[in-house]
Structure 1
Amino acid sequence: MKFPLYFSRKIAFSKDNKNNLSRVIIFIGRLSVALGIIVSLITISTGFGSKKAIKERLADFSGHVTVKSTRSNSSYNTSILDNEGLDIKKLKNLDDVESVQKYAMVTGIMRNEHSFAGIIFKGVGKDFDSLRFKKFLISGKTPQISEDGYNNGVTISEKISNDLHLKVNDSIVTVFAKEDQKQIYRKFQVVGIYKTDIKMIDDQFVIGDVNHVRKIMDMKPEDIGGIDIFFKNVNNIDRDFPEVEQLIGYKNYAEKATDKFPQINDWISIFDTNIALIISIMLIVVIINIIMVLLILIIERTNSIGLLKTLGATNGQIRATFINYTLIIMVPGLLYGNAIGIGLLLIQKFFGIIKLNPENYYVSTVPVDLNPIAILSISVGILLISGLALIIPSYLISKISPVKSIKYS
């Protein structure tokens, strides 16, 4: 074992540390490291967790990528997809694609004696991924679509159900209108109520039978207004997007889930800035505290440094000894910080103690993403950066004269 590491371990675990100033200094150093780890873990896990949760909610409701016609305008009434160059079979066979579902949309107004609500009626077919949608249901179910005839069941949002005082099994009249044509009335039965916590979705969308949309929009039985494509991993949207674009034809276009609601996407991007800022601040605080610990330990052990120099130890060996000593002091702080930080995050993950206002944050509880790589990277990163930061202040050792240090011991 090399001398610096051996001697640093000897003084780190020396019983003398329990009876002098070192005890207080070591406690302060470990406390600052533990707090830095706790704050960093919470920041990264909740920040990345929020980004992931919001992206998943957007994607699981309307597809990770949606294919639309280039004839679509700002209206929510969908235009018919062009079949030229569109290869749905190949889309389904892409490695990362989990499912593909067809849809068509039309706008309308739901009304009753209580109130009215402007809605976007999203008609889905028998390939609708009801299992993926199940996480949003708070009561009832989704319509069972066979595409033979018309299913009058609809699943509405909690917001719409509250505005119109509707519950499962209630009936509601919806009015649809096309340009230069008379109003079209449809009577639906509420079979389910959902909640995504995303205001732009919950305020408007109703899930129902695609055949109603086809009838209202004068579409043929085989016509569709769009395709929702779901990937196995929401984080692979950017990677797999170019493959999708190659299989949809030049008269259609693909849109990522995050691009459908740019205001949400912009809000999500703020997380990266906040995470980087908080981690940087905590890292600076930890480094400053660790440097102060090193300097105080050097001053406190000036006599020992003089003695080591007298015995032939070089400045480099002594500097390495005190840097190792300081890093060894940090290890319990790292362990306690990780234990407390991960413990708090697990409590939040499984019990959802801390709540949020979904109108502002798009989620009702603080989401947690416990990524082992991120957790390990924080601890290793703090150790490495602290080790490098200690090199310059450790040069104070070279200024200590062995003659003077021993003379005044």
Structure 2
Amino acid sequence: MRLKFIALKFPIYFSKKIAFSKDNKNNLSKVIVFIGRLSVALGIIVSLITVSTGLGSKKAIESRLANFSGHITIKSTRSNSSYNTSVLNKEGLKINEIKSLEEVAGVQSYATVSGILRTEDNFDGVILKGVSKDFDAERFQDFMISGEIPKFTEIGYNNQVILSQKIANDLHLKTKDSIVAIFSKEDQKPIYRKFVVSGIYKTDIKMIDDLFIIGDINHVRKIQDISKDDVGGIDVFLKKSETIDSAFPKIERLIGFKNFAEKATDKYPQIVDWIGLFDTNIALIITILLVVVVINIIMVLLILIIERTNSIGVLKTLGANNQQIRAIFINYTLLIMVPGLIIGNVIGVGLLLIQKFFGIIKLNPENYYVSTVPVDLNPIYILAISLGILLVSAVALILPSYLISKISPVKVIKYD
């Protein structure tokens, strides 16, 4: 039993002796080891950047969509493609039960109407999203770049509005400026409203920033001739975005038959398609990098075997079998990879931390829906990448290590 244990430990012990031997510093092994570690380090760095920025972009876009209009929105089935919302049907709608769901963080009601903002020399088509006293100002604060969020109490009419930076720039407006809004209705004269710019926001989502202004829901009710208790929809915010698939059917059962629920990402199918590309790109890049790293590591193993042919012959002469010698060289190659893994993680995580806190690399939000490259530093992904590369490399080394069985100790010693 003791001899069997020693036999099992022998490959690990011997591979460590070779890996940390001073002899490696003055022969071909020095160059081979450097190449192996460099390929692993580069593979780790690029993999970390690809996964962290790809997943970070997905989460950032989904989070912005959800924080602006809720993870899930409840609307009337009578709503069509018009930006003027239909009144939400209260029959079967159980708001309190929705609020009490474990996944739900809160809800807010709203109503929308389309119109035009006009200045002396320009105009812009907009959608006034009227919000009520349950408006989640704290959540919306992340979008604010100047000014402040008005208090919407539903008492009277609050003439303060929040414009997107895009609309404010188009109309050359800043906070505390006045602006005239025009709303039209069928068979009626246009309705004029004068608003004051209280704040300016920016989501980087073009479909939102190009259209939406935030104001008092009572203005929308007045323009649409609906009751003071009626709303056009309800935004439902979840505690965690990851629970949207489990929360959605629960919410659907509590909204009644004359209303429907819609996920935030489903409102903008072009964004959903864009987000879907991240998974494909990440998988493709990781696969290519893994293939490159594995090929390099296999080449390192083969060269090390050829270089140490004499040592293999001596080991076989002393009684070591092919399986033990193969284990020695596989362990040896994996030990070579470890410093590369450590260096790659240090550099990769360091670069990502710099981007996360300083936002050095910028993007065009019209094309990417974010203005800086977002970073998602999840320790699970970091660990999974390193262990994944190590495990795949270990499996890939098994087949080329069979070259050792072809080496005859008699021929090696003869030619030596």
TM-score by length of 2: 0.97
CA distance in 2, matches of 1:352, 1:245: 39
**Structure 1, unpaired ranges of 5+:** none
| Residue 179 (structure 1) shift | 1.6
Distance across 2 between alignment mates of 1:168 and 1:38 = 44
CA contact (8 A) 1:356 1:363 kept: yes
Q: Which residue of 2 aligns with 1:348?
A: 355
Query: CA offset at residue 163 of structure 1?
Result: 1.1
Q: Give the counterpart of 2:317 among 310, 320, 331.
A: 310
Which of residues 152, 162, 176 is equivalent to 2:159?
A: 152
Q: Which amino acid is the alignment partner of residue 217 of structure 1?
A: Q
Q: Aligned ranges for residues 98-113 of structure 1 at < 5 Å?
A: 98-113=105-120
Aligned partners of 1:156 and 1:192 also within 8 Å: yes
Aligned to 1:80: 87
Tell me the residue number matched to 1:62.
Answer: 69
For residues 257 and 318 of structure 2, the distance between their equivalents in structure 1, rounded to whole angstroms, comes to 81
Deviation at 1:70, TM superposition (A): 0.2
1:297 partner amino acid: L
Across the aligned residues of Structure 1 and Structure 2, the Cα RMSD in angstroms comes to 0.7
- 1:31 equivalent in alignment to 2:38: yes
State the distance in 2 between where 1:326 and 1:85 align: 66
Q: Does 1:383 align with 2:410?
A: no
Matched, 1:120 2:141: no
Q: How does 1:200-239 map to 2 (within 5 A)?
A: 200-239=207-246
1:274 matched to 2:281? The reply is: yes
Does the 8 Å CA contact 1:354/1:365 hold for their aligned counterparts?
yes
Q: Tell me by how many angstroms 1:397 deviates.
A: 0.3
> Equivalences for 1:182-201 in 2 at 5 Å?
182-201=189-208
- Distance between the aligned counterparts of 1:180 and 1:270, measured in 2? 46
Q: Using the alignment, how far apart are the partners of 2:353 and 2:113 within structure 1?
A: 43
Structure 2 CA distance for aligned equivalents of residues 95 and 172 of structure 1: 42
Aligned partners of 2:389 and 2:313: how far apart in 1?
31
Q: Report if aligned partners of 1:35, 1:337 keep a CA contact under 8 Å in 2.
A: yes
Quick one: which amino acid aligns to residue 340 of structure 2? G
How many angstroms does 1:96 deviate by?
1.3
d(CA) in 1 for partners of 2:12 and 2:179?
77
1:251-286 alpha-carbon deviations (Å, 9 max, x no partner) = 100010100110011001000000000000000000
Aligned residues: 409
**Secondary structure of 1:280's match?**
helix
Q: Distance in 1 between matches of 2:70 and 2:107?
A: 8
TM-fit CA distance, 1:147: 0.4
CA distance in 2, matches of 1:373, 1:250: 42
* Counterpart residue type for residue 363 of structure 1: V
Counterpart CA distance in 2 for 1:164 and 1:361 is 24
Letter matched to residue 187 of structure 1: K
* Deviation larger for 305-314 or 178-187: 178-187
Name the CA distance, whole Å, in 2 between partners of 1:176 and 1:123: 14
Distance 1:315 1:229 in 2: 64
Counterpart-to-counterpart distance in 2, 1:212 and 1:121: 9
CA distance in 2, matches of 1:21, 1:317: 24
**Local SS of the residue matching 2:342:** helix
What amino acid is the match of 1:136?
F
Report the equivalent of 1:71: 78
| Regions of 4+ moved over 2 Å | none
> Quick one: percent identity of the two aligned structures?
74
Provide structure 2 residue ranges, at least 5 long, that are not aligned to the other structure: 1-5
Query: Residue deviations 1:349-375, cap 9 Å, x none?
Result: 000000001110010100000000000
Matches within 5 A, 1:160-171: 160-171=167-178
Candidates 369, 377, 401, aligned match of 2:408: 401
Shift of residue 239 of structure 1? 2.2
Q: Structure 1 length normalisation: TM-score?
A: 0.99
Q: Which residue of 1 aligns with 2:101?
A: 94
- Other structure's SS at 2:230 match: coil
